[in-house]
Amino acid sequence: MASFTDLVSGYHRFRDTDWVRERARWEKLVGGQSPRVMVIACSDSRVDPAQIFDTAAGEIFVVRNVANLVPPFELDGKRHGVSAALEFAVTQLEVEEIVVLGHGACGGVHASFTKEFKDTPPGEGGFIDHWVDLLDEARTRSIAEHGEGPAAIRALEMETVRVSIANLRTFPCIPEREAAGKLRIHGAYFAIHDGLLHIMDDSGEFAPA
């Protein structure tokens, strides 16, 4: 596993290779960014959207968090990192597409499914529990339909995408732009065990890309 020293060594390789090869791109990016796509993905170290989609710097605007979740639109005066990033991407960068990317073997989904951090204080698991409780209703549906085995966990991993897309549409700026044909929303699921990307159709079902 990489250490900070390894990261610095990687930086030197980047400066000697990709930076030189893509210098014109980087000089253009100094003036600002104009990605057409926003990707909302999990923080999991195995699921890097830039790697999965083979993109270069400046091509996608990425937000990563536990279980690739989008909270609903809330006016409670608290700080909302995902909401701020979403607002910036949609209203300032004016991205044309948003992709919510779920994945297999998701630790956040496991925490939701097992309730392992329930009743723990913040700093010991409480923040995680209060974040993944966004999936409580989806968890109940998955267990009701699939029991409490691997099939239910996989179903809940895919539910993270559906829940996040539903919450996206509680932000006023989203349905307005969808209705005007200025924004499209996509769901996707990356299976770590076989490297397959699945795309969600209009009915909410997933199939290999």
Question: Which strand ranges, in their side-by-side order, compose the sheet holding 97-103?
Answer: 60-65, 37-42, 97-103, 184-191, 196-200, 206-208
Catalytic residues, by residue number, are 42, 44, 46, 103, 106
Closest by Cα among 175, 186, 173, 154 to 86 = 173
Q: How far is CA 116 from the centre of its chain?
A: 22
List Cβ neighbours of 199 (8 Å cut-off, separation of 6 or more): 186, 187, 188, 206, 207, 208, 209
Which H or E run includes 62? strand 60-65
Q: Considering only the C-alpha atoms of the chain, give the largest distance between any 2 of them, rounded to a whole number of Å.
A: 55
